[in-house]
Amino acid sequence: MVGFCCEGDKKLLVYEHMPNSSLDAHLFRSSAKTLNWRTRYQIALGVARGLAYLHESCLDYIIHCDIKPQNILLDALFVPKITDFGMAKLLTRDFSRVMTTPKVDVYGYGMVLLEIISGRMNANGECGSSGDDIVYFPIQVARKLLEGNVMSFVDDRLNGDVIVDEVERACKVACWCIQDREFERPTMGKIVQILEGLVEVDTPPMPKLLEAIAGRSHSACT
């Protein structure tokens, strides 16, 4: 925030101008200029750093609770800014008795990371042409990652012009973020270290909840 005005009935908040709109405009609109891999990775890393600051460096923890591409604004240099804190929760350092934890944002970040990699909405799903598979992106990623085939779900508009190690790293992070049990999800600080290449990360297992979703969706298709 740049400043504010509170004079009589005039109450204004002044924010930095974001000429590149929000992340969703670049990922999901066919008319938008395609973001190259370097820019996407820097956006992913920038958002991770921002969330790590909110979770770990503030006097009180701030949990955003609504991390999605629409709430990530981009400045003139495509530096990401997290916005829309309408659902945010402020917690003291002892939040052992509350239901909402920072791992809610970790899950949301994982879903956003999948959309950054693929350039498609996670919610878009359909039955496969053979009727025996489900085209739901988070499930596809988890399966393909276990098969060692990470390039199959990278945004086609990138024409393969990516850094494969970064793609694999980002996919692993995303799938760890969407694990069912909160304690299995990494902290945002750990995610920053992984994306920066400072910490190695193992291949995560298929999230059990997504396996269940895949099973129910398969039944609906057959």
Instruction: Catalytic residue, from 9, 24, 60, 66: name it.
Output: 66
- The letter for the amino acid at 157 is R
- The predicted structure's pLDDT at residue 35: 96
Rounded CA separation 30/150 (Å)? 23
Lowest mean pLDDT among 116-130, 141-155, 172-186, 189-203: 116-130
- The predicted structure's pLDDT at residue 58: 86
- The predicted structure's pLDDT at residue 117: 96
In the predicted structure, residue 20 carries a pLDDT above the cut 60: yes
Q: Which residue has the tokens 């052992």?
A: 96
Rg (CA), the chain: 18
- The predicted structure's pLDDT at residue 32: 81
Rounded CA separation 109/50 (Å)? 11
Query: Residue 215: how many CB atoms within 10 A of its CB?
Result: 11
In degrees, to the nearest 5, what angle opens at C-alpha 206 toward C-alphas 141 and 178?
75
SS3 130: coil
Catalytic annotation on 75? no
Most confident among 42-51, 77-86, 122-131, 198-207 (mean pLDDT): 42-51
Torsion angles phi and psi, residue 86, rounded to 5: -60, -25
Tokens of 151: 């390039």
- The predicted structure's pLDDT at residue 119: 94
- The letter for the amino acid at 96 is S
The pTM for the full model equals 0.87
Tens-place pLDDT, residues 135-172: 577 888 888 999 999 999 899 999 999 999 999 999 99
11 or 87, which is more confident: 11
* Ordered structural domains, the chain, with CATH: 21-221 (1.10.510.10)
Lowest mean pLDDT among 36-40, 106-110, 149-153, 209-213: 209-213
5 within 8 A of 12, measured Cβ to Cβ: yes
- The predicted structure's pLDDT at residue 137: 79
- The predicted structure's pLDDT at residue 55: 94
Nearest to 64 by CA among 88, 91, 86: 88
- The predicted structure's pLDDT at residue 116: 98
Rounded CA separation 47/61 (Å)? 16
In degrees, to the nearest 5, what angle opens at C-alpha 78 toward C-alphas 158 and 53?
115
Tens-place pLDDT, residues 62-118: 999 999 999 999 999 999 999 988 777 766 555 555 578 899 999 999 999 999 999
